[in-house]
Amino acid sequence: MTDATLPPPDPGERLPADDAEAVLAAAATAVEAVAEEVDADMDALDVPRRLLLVHAHPDDETIGTGATMAKYAAEHARVTLVTCTLGEEGEVLVPELAHLAADQEDGLGSHRIGELAAAMEALRVTDSRFLGGPGRWRDSGMMGTPANERPDCFWQADLDEAVRALVAVLREVRPQVVVTYDSRGGYGHPDHVQAHRVTVAAVDAAADPAYAPEAGEVWSVDKLYWTAVPRSVLQAGIDALKASGETNFFGVDSADDLPFGNDDDEVTTEIDASEHLEAKVAAMRAHRTQIAVDGPFFALSNNVGQRAFGVEHFVLARGPRGAGVAALGREGDLFAGLGLDREGLDGPNG
């Protein structure tokens, strides 16, 4: 969420005001190191279970799906993250880095490459890419803003080019499971809506033998999911914050008044990754310019807080629904129903 309205960070934890170029250079080195590691020890098809997630901005992956990514990475599934923009238009929550903002030096994008790399390290995810390469498409900002009119923004992207770029990744990685946002783009940010459109079109195109044969061998994704947050989970968060004396959770009393959230009965899948909550929180901390980890929501160390962050929800849009193992008959595994065993978990790639 580029436009997170979370409170400012704890003044006890601040980044040095790094020069953006140094940050970019460090990030590039980190990305290369990770790429080499992937080349060296991971041939996609050696890993039985492969999950690919398409997100709009650095930090979306962690907020919405970080625990799930950490869980599958820990279980030696191959987890691939594709991020569509660098999040250049995000609000900078760290005062020392305020100069990076789009309306000042406009250096936030390169800084966020480094934040994302650090977050992936925390989640132990080794395959993280930017759609079309870093900076190919710019954060579109909210509808009606000048950022949204820029020809280089993701909202204005040539869809054919974006789809083709994602098809090449899908055909290379061959994921059985793909995760992105629903058609509303979760909470309606244009980049999230666009990520949805591009992903759906690319999943279809990747399976079409007539589509761009030079972009790799045809691949059919088995299951397609949207990220989701059940309204009951949002309500529990609102109630817990109220009980702790904090009243401003997006300024509402009821989850029904929020512009996002899913009816509980449309949520098909519940991934309990509570064991990986620590990794998710570490990844959230890595996105320092965007997320105030010491805000009141994190201060909720009770079960509601744990549940809100360690259990992540999805809506199955396509593919077989696995057996119900969680509340409301929800499946508890993104790969459920595919007949893939967890063989290989202790193999050389894991």
Point out which span in 2-10, 68-76, 132-140, 149-157 binds Zn ion (CB under 5 A).
Answer: 2-10
Nearer residue to Zn ion within complex by CB, 57 or 313: 57
Size of the residue set binding Zn ion (CB under 5 A): 4
Residue 2 Cβ vs Zn ion, minimum distance, rounded to whole Å: 5
Q: How many residues does the chain have?
A: 350
Residue 206 Cβ vs Zn ion, minimum distance, rounded to whole Å: 24
Nearer residue to Zn ion within complex by CB, 47 or 200: 200
Nearer residue to Zn ion within complex by CB, 86 or 304: 86
Q: How far is CA 95 from the centre of its chain?
A: 25
Residue 147 Cβ vs Zn ion, minimum distance, rounded to whole Å: 13
- In the chain, the amino acid numbered 181 is Y
Q: How far apart are the first and last CA of the chain?
A: 32
Nearer residue to Zn ion within complex by CB, 56 or 93: 56
Check if the beta carbon of residue 171 is closer than 8 Å to that of residue 165.
Answer: no
Coil, strand, or helix at residue 125?
coil
Nearer residue to Zn ion within complex by CB, 88 or 333: 88
Which residues from 34-93 bind Zn ion, rule CB under 5 A?
56-57, 60
Q: Write out the two tokens for 98.
A: 């305020």
> Which ranges in 56-107 belong to alpha helices (H)?
60-74
3-state helix, strand, coil split of the chain in percent (to 5) is 45, 10, 45
Residue 191 Cβ vs Zn ion, minimum distance, rounded to whole Å: 6
Q: Write out the two tokens for 336.
A: 């459920």
Residue 50 Cβ vs Zn ion, minimum distance, rounded to whole Å: 24
Contact set with Zn ion (CB under 5 A): 2, 56-57, 60
